[in-house]
Amino acid sequence: QSVLTQPPSTSTTPGQSVTISCSGSSFNIGNNYVHWYQQLPGTAPKLLIFRNNQRPSGVPDRFSGSKSGTSASLAISGLRSDDEGDYYCAAWDDSVTAWVFGGGTKLTVL
């Protein structure tokens, strides 16, 4: 059972948009930054969004993040087949002095 809660999977079609949710508590999301990682099949995770809504250099603006209270969301627009993979949210948790991850959401682009 992960500290942060994400839907296990979501699917959509090319060109559409999707939003992946991440729910936590006041100890983690409510009081700290949320970060999102993308893990494409067979590869290492990659930082996609940091500090709630910041994109690292090279990440297209199709990807955006937001946070409200103890929840956060990752939005992806103009979906492409090569966006298929697993997406993880993460945050620092003050109660356990540790980084915590969501269980991951498997995105399928049919």
Rank residues 17 and 60 by Cβ distance to other proteins and give the closer one.
60
Q: How far apart are CA 69 and CA 77, in angstroms?
A: 23
Q: Which amino acid is at 60?
A: P
Q: Does 24 participate in binding other proteins (rule CB under 8 A)?
A: no
Q: How far apart are CA 100 and CA 92, in angstroms?
A: 6
Rank residues 25 and 32 by Cβ distance to other proteins and give the closer one.
32
Total number of residues that touch other proteins (CB under 8 A): 26
Residues whose CB is less than 8 angstroms from the CB of residue 1 and which lie 6 or more positions away in sequence, other chains included: none
Binding site for other proteins (CB under 8 A): 2, 32-33, 35, 37, 39, 44-47, 50-51, 56, 86, 88, 90, 92, 96-104
